[in-house]
Amino acid sequence: MRAFLALILLTLSLPALADPYDELYRSAGWAEQRAHFGDALDAAQTRYRNTLPPAIYEALVRNSDSRFAPAAMDQRAISTLRQALADPQPALAFYQSPLGRKIVAAETKATTQAELLRHANGLPTLQAGSNRELLIRHLAQALPITEAGAEVSLALAGMAADSLSQMLPGVLGGAQADGLLQEQRQRLMQQMAGEVDNTLLYVYRDLSDPELEEYVQFAQSDAGQAYYRAALQALRAALNPPQG
């Protein structure tokens, strides 16, 4: 009887578990990374506490808590993945593989608050053989690392500006603000570009050369490129709710 009831419950649960986009979101570590972003957001809010007037600080916290509400961020990201990625199965299969799980574990460990504090003054410089250096360079070219890093940095740095703009509307016109944002995005990407290889060497330091080569093969494949293009769109959507 218990087995029969369990079978019924499993059957009823299948529709919720069968969505490959939800599965991909979980398997690729998005939920953990969003939680780590929340930790970084809390830390940034704390830093602003003693540097902004109380009214602006209160507006900052209120606006950022609304903009970066976890459930809404998850929803925007998954919805964008669904729209931008025609076939999630190849990426899902990769991230559910032993190598994919190892990669996600390395990535999520690297963005914990403890790790970020530990390396606040920069990552150690790692030495690698020529083959591994080449694999890392190929991986850096295949992944949208600088673009994603710039988006996260802009989101955290833009909290105070968003709050000031709300209290003093019209300080910056839309076109002027967009132009400044694009300039800052390009500047951040240029700064990050010189650090990408060492960052990837450090994050994936526990991957063997054959594992790293398999990762590069996926990242360079049509399916991998389709996923990473969609992932960058999903990240932007998660960090930037529609205006209106």
Question: Structural domain tally of the chain?
Answer: 1
Q: Is 123 left (phi over 0), alpha (psi -120 to 50) or beta?
A: beta
- Domain enclosing residue 184, as ranges: 22-239
In the block, tokens 């053989």 appear at 129
Please report, for the chain, how many H helices and E strands are present, in that order.
15, 0
For residue 120, being part of any structural domain is answered with yes
DSSP assigned state of 171: S
Any domain includes 16? no
pLDDT at residue 8, rounded to an integer: 47
DSSP-derived secondary structure for 116-143:
HHHTTT-PPPPP--HHHHHHHHHHHHHS
pLDDT of residue 55: 83
Q: Which amino acid is at 154?
A: L
DSSP letter (8 states) at residue 168: S
3-state helix, strand, coil in the chain (%, to 5): 80, 0, 20
Q: Tell me if 15 is assigned to some domain.
A: no
Separation CA 7–CA 156 (nearest Å): 46
pLDDT of residue 193: 82
Q: What is the DSSP letter of 28?
A: T
- What does pTM read for this prediction? 0.85
pLDDT at 176: 44
pLDDT of residue 161: 60
Instruction: Judge contact between 101 and 179, C-beta under 8 A.
Output: no
| Tokens at 137, concatenated | 């360079």
Query: Per the domain annotation, does 110 fall within a domain?
Result: yes
Predicted pLDDT at 75: 96
- Using alpha carbons only, how large is the chain's radius of gyration in Å? 20
pLDDT along the chain (244 residues), means of 10: 46 56 97 94 87 84 90 96 97 98 97 91 91 97 93 81 53 50 75 89 97 98 98 95 72
Q: What is the pLDDT of residue 7?
A: 45
Q: What is the pLDDT of residue 223?
A: 98
CA-to-CA distance for 201 and 43, rounded, in angstroms? 27
Q: Kindly state whether residue 3 falls inside one of the protein's structural domains.
A: no
Give domain status of residue 208, yes or no: yes
Q: Is residue 7 part of a domain?
A: no
Q: Could you tell me if residue 128 is inside a domain?
A: yes
